[in-house]
């Protein structure tokens, strides 16, 4: 069994590999992140009976040979010819040197699906404090005639939970609406009605290219500055259908908790006075934890809200367009050329989004290389093949669990109808670390298997002289 490998990026260490046995993959994920975060949501098969997983981390040799262009091209040729890939854009780069080793239509704009979240995460790591938290407040209304009216002020935290105390919620460390209600009761104010201030976010609540049917399907909700459980009707269920009125729902839940008539709740886009008396406040989990959950389960609502945090830091409108502008511009300052990107959202759910494999690989390469240390955590946030998040059930051989790239590949996934994408890092059989981006559009029925075969070839090739 091959050990976990870390490799030096000039003077820095980058975690890019774990173990081939699934149980050890999860153990290694805990070592990389400090906990098994997201594993509770992943359906990870157990290792075969009798297999004992032993995890270890060793330094990858700096002398590991880089694949040759010709060797890698020869190895990839048969798998990239699979018609199930449809239109394929791809790029493979040596992580240590940044040298491009293989490409195919890497400048072709294609639908990236959720690999778009790689850009959002990278921009957040560059622009924001990793420990940043988002605050949701309740204040007294300050307008004349509003005696007894309290205002729930959205701060942009979609993880605020309406679940009762002690009941599980989908998000780890989420703030609770019940805590806000308790603080209001202790404030001495006797509320008579609830307003909801959604003024923080601007523009439409639904992005161009989104399908309203995805609300019922559980993939998205209208993005508002105050939401409960990202709009989930069932707060502890990933695939719960979502609400069409998340801000109103939050206000009604607060009213109910305070013994008020939820029918009297109103939602307003008018901001409360900066001098309004604060009655209650709760905070989200730190940014790095929210990014971890967002990337592991590919959370669309969280991606859109975190992108607005980036927009706020760069004095852009807190809207879909403003967030895209902020994300792409912040990446440009890190020498990632996003000039050819056409994005309508920050999650990748829009069918109007277009990215190239070159842009995606450049983001991962920036995280793996020596010049942007603030991006290093991006590699740790990528799901692990066969071990965590959206890759927990992929890259596993049903007969030989120790075979294949499980544990040696980390990547952000992207999946929409006839679209499959992967962007991440892999340690090949020579011990060399490669970054890669693969985007398949107009894919056939076996498109996901076909794109996984391309990534698996990067692991198995070696392709050194």
* H or E stretch covering 268: strand 266-268
Look at residues 122, 44, 78, 61 and name the one whose alpha carbon lies nearest to residue 406: 44
Instruction: Give the residue carrying structure tokens 């104010």.
Output: 189
Cα–Cα distance between 205 and 4 in angstroms, integer? 43
3-state secondary structure of 22: helix
Beta pairing partners, 13: 8
Residues 6+ apart with CB under 8 A from 380: 15, 32, 33
**298 tagged catalytic:** yes
Q: Cα separation of 215 and 221, whole Å?
A: 5
CA atoms within 13 A on the CB side of 100: 12
Alpha helices of 278-434 — where are they, by DSSP H? 287-297, 300-313, 320-332, 357-368, 377-381
Residue from 161, 178, 298, 456 carrying the catalytic annotation? 298
Residue 114 designated active-site: yes
Q: How far is CA 132 from CA 127, 128, 278, 288, 441, in A?
A: 11, 7, 21, 8, 36
Tokens of 387: 């071990």
CA distance 402 to 20: 5
Instruction: For residue 226, give the nearest of 191, 272, 288 by alpha carbon.
Output: 272
Residues 6+ apart with CB under 8 A from 102: 69, 72, 73, 76, 90, 91, 92
Which entry of 55, 103, 114, 225 is annotated as an active-site residue? Answer: 114
Cβ-Cβ contacts under 8 Å for 135 (sequence gap 6 or more): 155, 157, 281, 282, 283, 284
The side-by-side arrangement of strands in the sheet containing 4-9 is: 12-15, 4-9, 57-59
Residue 443 per-residue DSSP state = -
Burial of residue 444 (CB within 10 Å: 0-12, 13-18, 19+) is middle
Strands (E), 3-158: 4-9, 12-15, 57-59, 87-94, 100-104, 135-140, 149-153
Please tell me which residue in 117, 178, 362, 392 is annotated as part of the active site.
Answer: 117
> Is 243 one of the catalytic residues?
no
**Active-site residue set:** 114, 117, 298
């Amino acid at each position: 069994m091959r050990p976990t490998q870390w490799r030096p990026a000039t003077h820095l260490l980058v975690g890019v590999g774990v173990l081939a046995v699934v149980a050890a993959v999860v153990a290694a994920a805990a070592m990389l992140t400090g906990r098994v975060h997201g594993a509770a949501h992943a359906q990870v098969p157990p290792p075969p009976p009798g297999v004992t997983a032993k995890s270890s981390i060793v330094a990858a040799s700096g002398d590991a040979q880089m694949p040759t262009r010709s060797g890698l091209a020869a190895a990839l040729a048969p798998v990239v010819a699979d018609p199930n890939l449809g239109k394929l854009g791809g790029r493979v780069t040596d992580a240590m040197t940044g040298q491009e080793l293989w490409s195919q239509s890497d400048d072709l704009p294609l639908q990236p699906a959720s690999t778009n979240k790689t850009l959002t995460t990278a921009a957040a790591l560059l622009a924001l404090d990793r420990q940043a938290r988002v605050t949701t407040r309740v204040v007294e209304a300050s307008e004349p005639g509003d005696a007894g009216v309290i205002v729930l002020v959205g701060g942009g935290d979609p993880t605020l939970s309406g679940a009762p105390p002690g009941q599980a919620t989908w998000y780890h460390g989420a703030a609770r609406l019940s805590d806000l209600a308790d603080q209001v009761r202790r404030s001495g104010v006797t509320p008579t009605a609830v307003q909801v201030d959604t003024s923080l976010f601007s523009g439409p609540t639904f992005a161009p290219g989104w399908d309203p049917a995805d609300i019922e399907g559980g993939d998205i909700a209208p993005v508002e500055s105050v939401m409960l459980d990202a709009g989930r009707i069932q707060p502890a269920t990933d695939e719960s259908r979502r609400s069409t009125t998340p801000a109103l729902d939050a206000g009604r839940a607060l009213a109910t908790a305070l013994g008020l008539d939820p029918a009297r709740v109103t939602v307003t886009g008018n901001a409360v006075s900066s001098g309004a008396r604060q009655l209650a406040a709760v905070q989200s989990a730190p940014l790095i934890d929210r990014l971890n959950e967002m990337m592991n389960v590919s959370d669309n609502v969280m991606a859109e809200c975190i992108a607005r945090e980036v927009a706020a830091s760069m004095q852009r409108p807190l809207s879909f367009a403003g967030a895209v502008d902020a994300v792409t511009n912040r990446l440009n300052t890190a020498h990632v050329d996003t000039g050819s990107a056409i994005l309508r959202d920050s999650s990748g759910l829009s069918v109007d989004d277009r990215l190239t494999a070159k842009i995606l690989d450049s983001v991962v390469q920036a995280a793996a290389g020596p010049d942007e240390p603030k991006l290093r955590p991006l590699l740790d946030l990528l799901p692990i093949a066969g071990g965590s998040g959206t890759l927990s059930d992929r890259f596993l051989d049903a007969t030989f669990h120790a075979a294949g790239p499980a544990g040696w590949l980390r990547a952000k996934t992207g999946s929409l109808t006839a679209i499959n994408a992967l962007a991440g890092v892999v340690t090949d059989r020579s011990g060399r670390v490669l970054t890669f981006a693969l985007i398949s559009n107009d894919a056939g029925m076996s498109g996901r298997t076909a794109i996984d075969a391309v990534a698996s070839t990067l692991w198995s090739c070696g392709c050194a002289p």
